[in-house]
Amino acid sequence: MLARERVLGALAAGGVGPERVDLLGAAPGRAEHLSLYSRIDLALDTFPYHGTTTTCEALWMGVPVVVLEGGTHAARVGVSLLSTLGLSDWVVGSCEEYVKQAAGHASNLDELEGFRRSLRQRMRKSVLMDAQGFTARLEAAYRQMWRRWCAPAPDGGVGRAWRKQT
């Protein structure tokens, strides 16, 4: 069975007819790929393994994302991204809340449209897009690690030489 048939079958079992579903193949390029987000009102983050690139792309392209929080790192990436943007209210803790939140937002397209217009600016202002700040913090961490590596050993020995013995 093809993936397309499995997806349509699963959706049909949940009461979603094939006329309501667009399954698209790969876009020929990045611009075409990103332009597809204009066809989306609301994104549902995947679980138990959250999207990272796709979640960021959706938000950058003005598509709000509903996230179901999980217990592992892979199931908390979306939580981290949305929390960083001040969108913790788009994160839910159960499948029931996930469906309720998604359905609630999807039924209010006017509200979504207004919200969509603010997402890119919200991302621009966030630490997620602060490449200079990230680089400065990374460089500071490297300097701190190097200083520790070069520091005298607690027993007065010389720098990194004592570390090779332990």
User: Within a 10 A sphere around the Cβ of 83, how many other Cβ atoms?
Assistant: 15
Are residues 139 and 119 both part of a single domain?
no
Let me know whether 125 and 135 are in one domain. Answer: no
Place of tokens 């202002």: 125
pLDDT tens-place string over residues 33-62: 999 999 999 999 998 999 999 999 999 999
| Confidence (pLDDT) at 157 | 62
Total structural domains in the chain?
A: 2
What is the separation of C-alpha 120 from the centre of its chain, rounded to a whole number of angstroms? 14
Q: Please indicate, yes or no, whether residues 136 and 121 belong to a single structural domain of this protein.
A: no
Whether residue 84 is found in the same domain as residue 30: yes
SS3 state at 65: strand
In this prediction, residue 164 has a pLDDT band, given cuts at 50, 70 and 90, of low
Residue 148 pLDDT grade (very low, low, confident, very high; cuts 50, 70, 90)? confident
Mean pLDDT of the chain: 90
Q: Give the CA dihedral 26, 27, 29, 30, nearest 10 degrees.
A: -90
Contact 91, 83 (CB under 8 A): yes
CA–CA separation, 132 and 5 (whole Å): 46
Same domain, 25 and 101: yes
Which residue segment(s) compose the domain that 139 sits in?
Answer: 130-166
**Which residue stretches of the chain are H helix?**
3-13, 30-35, 53-60, 77-84, 95-106, 109-124, 131-150, 161-165
pTM for the whole structure: 0.78
Claim to verify: residue 107 and residue 159 sit in the same structural domain: no
Residues 161 and 123 in one domain: no
* Whether residue 44 is found in the same domain as residue 99: yes
pLDDT of residue 150 exceeding 90, the answer is: no
Same domain, 28 and 73: yes
Is the same domain home to 63 and 39? yes
* Residue 166 pLDDT exceeds 90: no
